[in-house]
Amino acid sequence: MHSASLLLATFLYSLSVVAFYPYSIKKSTSGKDERHKRFYPLSPDIWDGSTDAPTLVIEKKPISKSIRDNKYIILKSDPPTVPSSLAVDQDGSDFSFVVTLLFGSSKTPLYMLLDTGASNTWLMSSDCTTSACNSHNTFGASDSKSFRPNSSATWDVTYGTGSVSGIGGTDSVSFAGYTLQDFGFGMATNASDDFNSYVMDGILGLGRDPDNQIGTPSIMSALKSRNLIQQNTIGVHFRRHAEKPADGVLTFGMINKDVLDGDLSYTTTVPGSTLWEIPAGGFGVDGKPAPLQPNTTVIVDTGTSWILLPPTDAAALHGMIPGSKQNGASYQVPCDSSAVVQFTFSDVTYNVSSKDYVGAKGANSALCASNIVGHQAFGPNTWLLGDVFLKNVYTVFDFGDGNGKEGRIGFGKVKAVPTASTSTSTSTSAGEAATAKASGSGSRTAASTTASTASPSQSGGSQQGMGLGNGAGLVGVPRMMAVSSMLAGCVGIGMLMA
């Protein structure tokens, strides 16, 4: 394994959370970087402030929850009232975001981790006897009269410190008002003990790559080929566990206007990349740009919770946050920091408020952990933005049409919750608020409601012209979209390669 990944794994093991770090770099014989996804489960060590090691403490708050037959607790979101949508639930720590899919003739519910980093879909098989499978919900022949196993279609996936392997399977799967007959997926007949740490029963692959290691069409390919969606898109809205309403939602084939406030600003994916990878426009703090390296790109992944920046960029960013302190790949920041971190795409700038990038406080320290990590997940000019950024923007992943229309990612402002008084500060702006009432008809028919490229908003949120690129200074002084998220460890699985 790449030495940098081992160093990051050591850092992650010092944290007090259970989460995923999904990526590492492997050098191919051709000399090019092959991209692999990996995870590192995090051990519950506690930072008492006596050392520089940070901690991210999970605080379970009173909230609606569903206690499963096994040991895991899922915090439930409200049922969506828009068509073609699934409620996005989570584990209560803002680490793992899952949706419920119903498999087979018995419609067995399984919690599937959302992962835009890969197109593989697999679930734990009832034939699996490992500790991890025994502690999760599973699926197999006894659960469905229509299930067909394919023992000759073997597969295996290694995620650094953990692994799964199994055979192929075919059955119906129902979700969001759709039912896919004869859908192929992986049946994990072996799962390492690492999976005891995670709530999900399987992975829902939502990546761009049409190929996957399991050898079955992705769920988006199946929807598109069967003409069940008018737009080849998914829309994602995550909600922090402590926020109300609990309106996390995944929408297929349409733009969720109950969540989106205004238009989307789209950025086309990088040519030749099979990831959700887009060019960066800039980054900085409080309207001041940090130096942007040429040809910097950004991978946007629902399966990752932290922000991971190459060491040079992480150092530049934290150097603009007063009172920050570096400790290897990790940083600490003042617990009362009010600096606003910013990222720009296609001339629209989005904020990450201090309540999101400021992590847990050490018991004997005046500093808190920073939820922005200095680690080169890919090349020296590639960032990894996960749920820390996505949690309070509405994000649309557009797969394109395969006939010349390229993939793209659209970000938009989330509707504010109507309250007696709405904050207008940069750290608690309308962009952080939850959506207003849902007004969907409940019909499954996917509407064609593609939004246009965003124009400057007259009511706050995002605006074009920030100019945080290349350290060249501000082109304009826009109103910012506050991206509020309770950051955590890197969550995700995907991009699976042998």
Is residue 456 predicted with pLDDT exceeding 80? no
Q: Which of 77-86, 403-412, 428-437, 453-462 has the highest mean pLDDT?
A: 77-86
**Residue 48 among the catalytic residues:** no
Reduce the secondary structure of 311-326 to three states and give it as a string.
HHHHHHHHHCCCCCEE
Neighbours of 374 (CB within 10 A): 24
- Tens of pLDDT along 363-385? 777 899 888 899 888 889 999 99
What is the reported pTM? 0.77
Instruction: Report the chain's mean pLDDT, rounded to a whole number.
Output: 75
- How much is the average pLDDT of 393-403? 88
pLDDT tens, position by position, 351-368: 887 777 888 887 777 899
The residue behind tokens 């959370």 is 17
pLDDT in tens, 121-175: 999 999 999 999 999 999 999 999 999 999 999 998 876 457 899 999 999 999 9
Residues contacting residue 62 through CB under 8 Å, at least 6 positions apart: none
Whether the link from the prior residue into 245 is cis, omega within 30° of 0, is: yes
Which is catalytic among the residues 301, 313, 347, 387?
301
Catalytic residue among 52, 115, 247, 258, which? 115
d(CA 9, CA 12): 5
Tell me the pLDDT band of 120, cut-offs 50, 70 and 90.
Answer: confident
Judge contact between 361 and 392, C-beta under 8 A. no
More confident residue, 10 or 99: 99
What 3-state class would DSSP assign to 39? Answer: strand
- Enter the tokens of residue 192: 């390492």
Residue 60: predicted pLDDT: 29
User: With pLDDT > 90 as the criterion, what percentage of the chain qualifies?
Assistant: 48
Query: Would you call 268 helix, strand, or coil by DSSP?
Result: strand
Interval 380-403 mean pLDDT: 88
Q: Do strands 122-124 and 178-191 pair parallel, antiparallel, or not at all (unpaired)?
A: parallel
Q: pLDDT at position 123, please?
A: 97
Question: Is there a contact between 340 and 352 (Cβ–Cβ < 8 Å)?
Answer: yes
Give the pLDDT score at 152: 93
Q: What is the per-residue pLDDT for 41?
A: 34
Q: How far apart are CA 202 and CA 186, in angstroms?
A: 9
119 within 8 A of 205, measured Cβ to Cβ: yes
Q: Any bridge partners for residue 92, and if so which? A: none
What's the pLDDT score for residue 163?
Answer: 87
Whether 143 sits among the annotated catalytic residues: the reply is no
Tokens standing for 352?
Answer: 């990450």
| Rounded CA separation 35/496 (Å) | 9
